[in-house]
Chain A
């Protein structure tokens, strides 16, 4: 069964740091782009960052650039999001998601077809 499971969320003070993890199974992790998406309480979805299958390309939404770092450990099928200088605006449920198609396929689609259940991050004093 294809699965992604987030962990690492919790309560942190403004200015603090947190590292989120996403453990994956059931597919060849090293063939897929991976993405983090977040959802603030009562708000819509916000794309946060993604990373190429080999880790050599990373993209971020402007609001987290310089503060968040996405990374991956292909041998251990894991995705990470290091979050520094956290503010109350970063309070959200953070979802890990997999791209629809592997980069090894003939036609590549960047939609997000496998999602975790999310991990909650609360930034508060």
Chain B
């Protein structure tokens, strides 16, 4: 199965900061990658699909980039509601695989 390596596993940042989370696939997944946000005790929420397409209703401070094996999620200016755990998910090959998650905490 494809391995998805997400980094960092945790990150401390302040409101207004720009943060970047990366996800690396063990083989080429074209642009078949999504980014999800999960808050404690809640279901995940789709932020980005097809590596760089913003899901409807998601604030424009979120952006995604990359193709092939290397992908990034960027939050341009952190807001208080952005502190959560973020996951990537490759949706090209079976089985689908999530990254291990990045917990974004308030500094």
Contacts and interface: CB of A to CB of B under 8 A. Distances in A.
Interface residues of B, number: 26
Contacts of A118: 43
Interface of A is mostly: strand
B96 interface: yes
A109 interface: yes
B46 A112 contact: yes
A109 B43 contact: no
Contact of A45 (B38, B53, B91): B38
A27 interface: no
B100 A111 contact: no
Contacts of B99: 44
A76 to B, nearest CB: 23
A115 B44 contact: yes
Nearest to A65: B95
B49 interface: yes
Contacts of A110: 32, 91, 96
Given A44-B87, A95-B44, A116-B43, A111 B34 contact: yes
B46 A111 contact: yes
A45 B98 contact: yes
A62 B1 contact: yes
Given A45-B101, A47-B98, A59-B95, 6 more contacts: A37-B44, A59-B96, A60-B95, A111-B49, A112-B44, A118-B43
Interface of B: 1, 32, 34, 36, 38, 42-46, 49-50, 53, 55, 85, 87, 89, 91, 94-101
**Nearest 9 Cβ contacts at the A-B interface:** A111-B49, A115-B43, A110-B91, A47-B96, A111-B34, A44-B101, A61-B95, A45-B98, A59-B94
13 contacts: A44-B85, A44-B99, A45-B38, A47-B96, A62-B1, A110-B32, A110-B96, A111-B34, A112-B44, A113-B49, A115-B43, A115-B45, A118-B43
